[in-house]
A and B are shown apart, each in its own frame.
Chain A
Amino acid sequence: MSKIKKITFLLLFPFIAHFIISCCDCVEPLIYHFTHKTITINNLDNAGSEPVVSSASSIIKTAYGIRIEVDREKTACTEPARSLFIQSVYARKCNCPPLMQLTPKDSITAIKIVTLNDFDSNHLANTEISDYFKVYKPYSFVTIAKYLQSSKNILYDESELGMKIDLLLMTTPTMNNQHTFKVQITLSDGRIFEPETSIELI
């Protein structure tokens, strides 16, 4: 009887082994780097149901915002880590990792918004008014500092390389109608981008 059991086990062993291996046959993820390439800003008109980029010369001041568009570029691929003893790092785990991982070579460390015109009595020309803006994602507002703390560093799809940050003006100006804003973006590798945008706030 015990011989029959042994023979049966030996006959079934390849099928059982194949079943276990096929379940855990994960493809090693390709790990890329990405770098911040260009940064542009546009005026946002939030008078409607959602903020839209506007090329108009004037926008209602209670519905004004700035959109920062960051173009990030994929760079070299690095070799995935391999185990010495087993073929797959993820052996015995059937929840395979994403096929691609994009890790940053550099990141945004600071965003400052500077008014180039007198904004109100406390914020004259060439002073920072970052506190007057909040980062908006439907339906939540966070300060710029909190946004930078919480923004994720590792991406899992190339479509995530294009990044948009909507900054909405939460305190309206009391001086002047014509305004120019400089957005100073500092990267971790020392690069600083300083795009500007002008608008008449009515």
Chain B
Amino acid sequence: MNKLFFASLISILLAVDSYGQDSTRFKPYKSILQTRPTFGLSLPLTKLLKGDVTDYLLAYDDQTYYWQIISATLFFHKHWGIECNFQSGSSNRISKRGDKFLQAMQSEYGKDYYVTPSTGASYNDLDMLGGNVGRGLLGVIYRFESRRFLIYPKISMGYTSFYKDWGKAYLKEKNSNNILEVSYSENGPENYFTTAAAVTFGYKLRKRLFLCADLMTSYYKTNVLFTKTTENLASGQSITEGSRYKKNIVNQSLGVGLIFVMNNGHR
């Protein structure tokens, strides 16, 4: 994390050196269109994962790092504007969950059975644009600016999305002709309506380049149901049981980045 911080600091200094033309003019409320690439951490105030094997079938983690590539803010008034952005999140746990599911099935059933597990999570590669946990928000932004500092409180709404995968294992009973198939199927939406309150603090480095820090609290409600079916392949008899992830999720995001002023007005 320290390496990431210093790398970003160097990038910022280089950008400061090359970007912007007039460092003496920092008139407030001049910018009309801004873009704001940031990165940071999303920390849980409430947790979704519960320690079950089905946790590994969710392309989700309670704590993720995120990057925001797509962001645009349009000020149509001295103080008021609208903002839309898209954040992509991931974590080490998400990228290793396929292997973790296979290991979990092995350790759960390996004592009595020869286990042949598989899951769709093994085939999920990280999408650098979309990430594993995506969040798109559209909101209203208000701004306070001085010559050097800025504070942008905002409220927004949109969606949070993450994938769910299937899981399966064939269990060949030791010293027996008996074979069971344990399968997990998922049911539930991929997108969850999200509301968020956020504030951006900034320092103007150049006329068109600001350093910023984001603080955001978001809320959404998940409703995922995993159905576990255990079927005796010889007799055809099966047992089903459900595992539901229905929770109110509150996250706190902390991020840093840059604001690039794309268009200055004459207010």
* A interface residue numbers (CB < 8 A to B): 46-50, 60, 62-65, 134, 136, 138-141, 168-170
Contact = CB atoms under 8 A, between A and B. Distances in A.
B93 interface: no
22 contacts: A47-B175, A47-B176, A48-B114, A60-B176, A62-B175, A62-B176, A62-B177, A62-B178, A63-B176, A63-B177, A64-B177, A65-B177, A134-B234, A139-B170, A139-B179, A140-B233, A141-B233, A141-B234, A168-B177, A169-B177, A170-B177, A170-B234
A139 B177 contact: no
A49 B172 CA distance: 6
B79 interface: no
B189 to A, nearest CB: 32
Contact of A47 (B174, B181, B234): B174
Contacts of B181: 139
Contacts of B175: 47, 60, 62-63
Contacts of A49: 114, 172
A48 B176 CA distance: 8
Q: Which 4 A-B residue pairings sit nearest by Cβ, starting from the closest?
A: A49-B114, A168-B177, A62-B176, A141-B234
A46 to B, nearest CB: 5
Contacts of A65: 177
Interface string B219-244: 00000000000000110000000000
A49 B112 CA distance: 11
Contacts of A134: 234
Nearest to B236: A141
Contacts of A141: 179, 233-234
B209 to A, nearest CB: 59
Contacts of B234: 134, 141, 168, 170
A63 B179 CA distance: 11
A139 B168 CA distance: 12
Interface of B: 114, 116, 170, 172, 174-179, 181, 233-234
Contact of A50 (B172, B176, B233): B172
A199 B178 CA distance: 20
Contacts of A136: 177
A94 to B, nearest CB: 31
Contacts of A168: 177, 234
Nearest to B178: A62
Contacts of A48: 114, 174
A64 B233 CA distance: 17
Given A65-B177, A139-B233, 10 more contacts: A47-B175, A49-B172, A62-B175, A62-B176, A62-B177, A62-B178, A63-B176, A64-B177, A138-B170, A168-B177
Contacts of A62: 175-178
A65 B178 CA distance: 12
A53 to B, nearest CB: 15
Contacts of B116: 139
Nearest to A141: B234
Count chain A CB atoms within 10 A of each CB in B172, B175, B177, B181 and give the residue with the most: B177
Contacts of A63: 175-177
A163 B170 CA distance: 25
Contact of B177 (A46, A138, A140): A46
Contacts of B179: 139, 141
Contacts of B114: 48-49
A134 B234 CA distance: 8
Contacts of B170: 138-139
A199 to B, nearest CB: 14
A99 B159 CA distance: 55
Nearest to A139: B170
A139 B173 CA distance: 13
A139 B116 CA distance: 10
Nearest to B171: A139
Contacts of A138: 170
Contacts of B177: 46, 62-65, 136, 168-170
Contacts of A50: 172
